[in-house]
Structure 1
């Protein structure tokens, strides 16, 4: 079927706009990250002085008046940096909507499932990453860390939209299979979610290093959540992503048997994907049986994150194999 050039152009515009919105959201989150705690302390000191100066009341009177002004719910007033952080969340949500629109329009423009080349695959992975981070943000106090999460997303999207960009076109005959929807989608979801525990584990290592030596990481360490919060984020997202990634590998083996007459052939893509699977399996197994927590578990997760990124770029773009469908010249 012919490509709808209008929808393809709209997809490209949505993609570019999503990148710009993510960059703006990063700026808002960086402001909250840099000045959040300072702003909270300043606001609390100012509010205490103001309330204490009204009638010279006691501390109990100040507390009661503060509670009454906050609606009786005991909530502290939102500081300027907190409002900036919430604006960053709104921008991130807008970016996700534009990101999703770019992927959907790409599929409509080509009348196929939009995961036929590296440009579209990176588009899908980064979309899953941001969506997963927004979900985790609702349950954990990690909003001010969103700039660290958006940074690799923006880098990947920039690389995908420039060096790896592919003109909208039908897929190669080898990819014209319903297994493309099942296998590649599962791989994209698993890999996208794996980026979240990778970043969380890196931040965990920084936080734990600060806890051991406050002087060495005195600037960044205090602004990070407690180490156990980052550990929970890394563990829970890995628990979700691992079975999805496993399902993707198994579906790939079935597709390989149908297309190439063998389930497994140690193709570079298959090999590195299996190595990444083993690393994440070791991470979950060590936590469940050996009771590994903290630094050792975080290091394993970071190694798995590195293997995932290596598989995404080096194997697809440098090595030659049966999975060489990057769609770049």
Structure 2
């Protein structure tokens, strides 16, 4: 029975990834249409204002085909997130433990956290939808790597991971990492939008100010969670290894990431840095998170090595 649940979990994971891919295509169609519209408006000298006749509009304007594609993409992302969450729950039931004991499970939760974060962003700021393809792309890449290179069968974990601290520490670090993934991608889009380096690509994106505010607000939510995760990790380390901090490679890089994100929040609140400078700091923090996720977990030997591929 448990083996069957593990199979269903894997299939739901693949189904969620496929749905995310289809949703990204729908978002890409909407984005391409937005670029074409922006090009037409620029070529025509801007949008033409409707004459004001003083009459009330008889009916709401119909949604364009591109907008319908975008809304369908969001609906598919919601469906994919539900299947994704079911995959994680079944994985935990099949393994009879908290489903974050290896890289496959860890990345799965990060990706779900990123998708849910993006859905919350769209709920509060629907105008951010054109950034959807760029947010879903790294999620799909991570899920592809998790299902291929990093896959591990459902089963028990090594003794150091059999602690209630795993459910607290790893869950918090996964959720904060998903939030910071969205923030990092949005900051990169902001830099592209700000510099106008690729106007043909970025013309349909939200304004630079909107992207900057979005990245900042997501990081504000993620940073306290990330801080709490580091604190609980230190407490768990004391219980497992007899010390709160040992400058293990993963601990060190996590601390470096924390310092960079603290610097980003400070820079973003400083008047002279509310430009691309603060965004570059945020992108640097995102880069250290990716470095910690792959290089430190899979290449560098340390006390956290058992949390790698196996």
Contact preservation (8 Å) 2:16, 2:83: yes
Q: CA deviation at 1:28?
A: 0.2
Q: How far apart, CA to CA, are the structure 2 residues paired with 1:307 and 1:40?
A: 35
In the TM superposition, what are the counterparts of 1:144-293 in structure 2 within 5 Å? 144-210=130-196, 216-289=197-270, 292-293=273-274
Runs of 4+ in 1 over 3 A off after TM superposition: 37-42, 58-61
Contact preservation (8 Å) 1:317, 1:326: no
Q: How far apart, CA to CA, are the structure 2 residues paired with 1:228 and 1:289?
A: 16
Q: CA deviation at 1:290?
A: 5.3
Contact preservation (8 Å) 1:190, 1:244: yes
Alignment match of 1:130 (pick from 104, 115, 137):
115
Structure 2 residue matching 1:224: 3-state secondary structure:
coil
Q: How far apart, CA to CA, are the structure 1 residues paired with 2:32 and 2:148?
A: 31
Q: How far apart, CA to CA, are the structure 2 residues paired with 1:30 and 1:236?
A: 25
Corresponding pairs, count? 300
Contact preservation (8 Å) 1:40, 1:79: no
Q: How far apart, CA to CA, are the structure 1 residues paired with 2:255 and 2:308?
A: 23
Question: Using a 3 Å threshold, how does the CA distance of structure 1 residues 289 and 219 change in structure 2: closer, same or farther?
Answer: closer
Q: How far apart, CA to CA, are the structure 1 residues paired with 2:268 and 2:195?
A: 21
Structure 2 residue matching 1:219: 3-state secondary structure:
helix
Which residue of structure 1 lines up, in the alignment, with residue 43 of structure 2? Answer: none
Structure 2 residue matching 1:17: 3-state secondary structure:
helix
Q: CA deviation at 1:69?
A: 2.5
Which sections of structure 1, spanning at least 5 residues, go unmatched?
A: 43-57, 71-75, 211-215
Please, what is the CA RMSD of the aligned residues? 1.8
Report whether the alignment pairs 1:96 with 2:81: yes
Q: How far apart, CA to CA, are the structure 2 residues paired with 1:31 and 1:314?
A: 35
Which residue of structure 1 lines up, in the alignment, with residue 44 of structure 2? Answer: none
Q: How far apart, CA to CA, are the structure 1 residues paired with 2:123 and 2:132?
A: 12
Structure 2 residue matching 1:195: 3-state secondary structure:
helix
Contact preservation (8 Å) 2:297, 2:308: no
Which residue of structure 1 lines up, in the alignment, with residue 30 of structure 2? Answer: 32
Contact preservation (8 Å) 1:10, 1:102: yes
Contact preservation (8 Å) 1:149, 1:196: yes
Q: How far apart, CA to CA, are the structure 2 residues paired with 1:37 and 1:159?
A: 31
Q: TM-score, normalised by structure 1?
A: 0.87
Contact preservation (8 Å) 1:33, 1:223: yes
Alignment match of 1:77 (pick from 62, 67, 83):
62
Q: CA deviation at 1:230?
A: 0.3
Q: How far apart, CA to CA, are the structure 1 residues paired with 2:102 and 2:20?
A: 23
Q: 137-146 or 296-305: which moved more?
A: 137-146
Q: How far apart, CA to CA, are the structure 1 residues paired with 2:37 and 2:93?
A: 47
Q: CA deviation at 1:90?
A: 0.4
Q: CA deviation at 1:328?
A: 2.7
Q: CA deviation at 1:39?
A: 5.6
Alignment match of 2:299 (pick from 305, 311, 318):
318
Q: CA deviation at 1:327?
A: 4.8
Which residue of structure 2 lines up, in the alignment, with residue 294 of structure 1? Answer: 275
Q: How far apart, CA to CA, are the structure 2 residues paired with 1:289 and 1:147?
A: 31
Between structure 1 and structure 2, the one with the greater Rg is 1
